[in-house]
Amino acid sequence: MLLSQDLPGWSAQQLACPPGRPPDLASRLEKAKRAGVMCLLCPDRAQNWSVVLMLRTSDDTAHSGQLAFPGGSEDPQDAGDLRVTAQRECWEEVGVHVTDAAVLGALSPLYIPPSDFWVQPFVAWSAQTPEFRLQEKEVADVLIKPLQDFPQAGMRWPSHAVPVRGGCIHAPGWTCGEHVLWGATAMMMAELLAVCKGAGFGPSFAVSTQNEG
């Protein structure tokens, strides 16, 4: 599976978009902080293609206690390359070294209003379930969620009550264990599901690896 330049973008992202999202105005994007995240695909114990999600620790940050892809803000050492940022953060947060050869490409970038970040997601794969080493200050847990357990590509995500800074809102989301995947990560996930479907990247690890040939 290689990502093409013809990505579904907003047509997929909107299926999991929270209400009241402001438009991605050029003025916002020019001043926003930059970040890279890694959508890592790997087999689970049942050999189903799955995605790696991390549970952020509960603190006072904008995305406290939420499910997310490994990733974070760019550093000067990344030399302006957000793919390097995503690879570095994946190593620092969950202890997985993603090689250049394992990166399949990039999804559509996304602006995140609550934290004022312009985020570039990348997709990578691993032939084996990784051994994780968590950065305990920022990461409470890691979930390996089969692609087949998410909404079908093109399906609008159902509404869930989700906690936000001591309150609660209703937003599109999907239950992952005891938690709900929602917000920007859900929007990225909706596009990832569409891309995987378009590439024939099925849920069976054994079949997929044979097709990779």
Kindly list the domain boundaries of the chain, sorted by start residue. Answer: 10-17+27-212
Average the pLDDT over each of 58-72, 85-99, 121-135, 188-202 and give the range with the smallest value: 58-72
The architecture (CATH level 2) of 10-17+27-212 comes to Alpha-Beta Complex (3.90)
Mean pLDDT of 1-20: 85
Residue 206: what pLDDT?
A: 44
Section 16-32 average pLDDT: 79
Q: Compute the 3-state secondary structure of the chain and give helix, strand, coil in percent, each to the nearest 5.
A: 30, 35, 40
Looking at residue 189, its pLDDT comes to 98
179 exposed, middle or buried (CB, 10 Å; 0-12, 13-18, 19+)? middle
Mean pLDDT estimate for the chain: 88
pLDDT, position 70 = 97
Q: At residue 209, does pLDDT exceed 70?
A: no
What pLDDT score does 65 carry?
80
Asked if the model's pLDDT at residue 151 lies above 60, the reply is yes
**Res 208: pLDDT:** 44
Residue 207 has pLDDT above 60, yes or no: no
